Structure 1
């Protein structure tokens, strides 16, 4: 199996449980660190699929590597190589497919209980209860014309979509582990304190029952990753 190309946009937003799951299931991956000024590959030849992580920048920003990023996503789709986007990654995937990214109905920080939608939801998300996942975003994506929404939320309607049975864009962070959650809550304390959104939790609220919430979140993530990996190109 060829390795998976993973794009990291920010120094504090690494692959975490995504990389853990890939390694445990025998999938190699190669990191492309945009935060370190590395270049994206010009082609996905030599890779089985594409993973895109989150970051504090907007999908609408004029980042110097965005044109190459959109081209890489579109090339991956044209080659039927699965793409998975976490938060910003899901927004970039939406834009590459002709969707838009705009201010979310409410900013979300902390744990959010979602509702599965469509006949594809069980296939991609499983039957885990509650469907509770970690969030950190102020913008959200539209559902591209070719896509089907599979998860929605009270405070942000568009939470996850799938395209052609191969690609998935997510607004939530199913890749989080305990160090990432704790680091974000520490470094983002001022953002949390300044927010007026009803969907923003205090650090104390977000840390409550953290081990149990992460175990459930990572079980959901494992279902998502397993379904996505079914179509990785050998």
Structure 2
């Protein structure tokens, strides 16, 4: 029987350029899609084997109705021991809900570009990171950041400019990824052009980024490992 995944879309558009909800289905999961940004949530978490939280233009610290509701959902899911994974804003709201609203802050400048993210010792035996050798190479783009100093967080990867790029909550099946391993090389070129104005404002050279677009295949193993975990829950 297919693992049942709750997919919460937190963006202005329900489906991002990465179409990760479709990929989760292609990896064998039954995906229930809800557009949280538009106030759509399931009536119950019963029966879910995993939950995924997408990115968002919002900050996890904002008093926006869907964000407040999502905080409650995360805490309920943690009590039910449902595996969870969040990317970008998804990582930030997991940190905010489980480790405190002051765990997420707005940086003084944006971190943007393709980067090698060195792994910590804990990553070598981590369920999601164990296939990655030395560094997780991926595109990162964030103005908000999750602090790295909480005792309930295990940092798994970092960058030269951000001490918490990938983390796990306690010893639970709950992970946050600040960067964007989900975006393929082809999708990246489209994404960069669609967001040219915003990315240039954040300090990016779009033509250079498009030339450097990368599949980030090794980092994507974190996503397939999560899908396997949900499948086998």
Instruction: Give the TM-score normalised by structure 2.
Output: 0.84
C-alpha contact 2:17 2:187 (8 A) present in aligned 1: no
- Cα distance change on mapping 1:86 and 1:147 into 2, 3 Å: same
The alignment status of 1:30 with 2:36, answered yes or no, reads no
Q: Which residue of 1 aligns with 2:18?
A: 16
- Cα distance change on mapping 1:38 and 1:177 into 2, 3 Å: farther
Deviation, 1:181, is 2.3
Question: Mind listing any 5+ residue stretches in structure 2 that lack a counterpart?
Answer: none
Deviation, 1:52, is 0.1
- The count of aligned residue pairs is 225
Deviation, 1:17, is 5.8
Question: Mind listing any 5+ residue stretches in structure 1 that lack a counterpart?
Answer: none
C-alpha contact 1:15 1:53 (8 A) present in aligned 2: no
1:113 to 102, 112, 116: 116
SS in 1 for 2:145: strand
Q: Which residue of 2 aligns with 1:187?
A: 194
Deviation, 1:4, is 0.4
Deviation, 1:34, is 2.8
Q: Which residue of 1 aligns with 2:206?
A: 203
Select between 155-164 and 118-127 the one with higher mean Cα deviation. Answer: 118-127
Summarize deviations over 1:3-47 as a string: whole Å, max 9, x none.
Answer: 200111111762836335422331111111134x24212321121
Rounded Cα–Cα distance in structure 1 between residues aligned with 2:55 and 2:49: 20
C-alpha contact 1:149 1:161 (8 A) present in aligned 2: yes
Q: RMSD of aligned C-alpha atoms?
A: 2.5
Instruction: Give the TM-score normalised by structure 1.
Output: 0.84
C-alpha contact 2:200 2:206 (8 A) present in aligned 1: no
Rounded Cα–Cα distance in structure 2 between residues aligned with 1:131 and 1:41: 33
C-alpha contact 2:56 2:89 (8 A) present in aligned 1: yes
Select between 137-146 and 221-230 the one with higher mean Cα deviation. Answer: 221-230
C-alpha contact 1:55 1:88 (8 A) present in aligned 2: yes
C-alpha contact 2:110 2:143 (8 A) present in aligned 1: yes
After superposition, where does 1:35-46 map in structure 2 within 5 Å? 35=37, 37-46=38-47
- Cα distance change on mapping 1:166 and 1:15 into 2, 3 Å: farther
1:138 to 136, 139, 143: 143
The alignment status of 1:221 with 2:227, answered yes or no, reads no
SS in 1 for 2:121: coil
Q: Which residue of 2 aligns with 1:4?
A: 5
- Cα distance change on mapping 1:188 and 1:22 into 2, 3 Å: closer
Summarize deviations over 1:107-148 as a string: whole Å, max 9, x none.
Answer: 122212111013234533223465211112101012443120
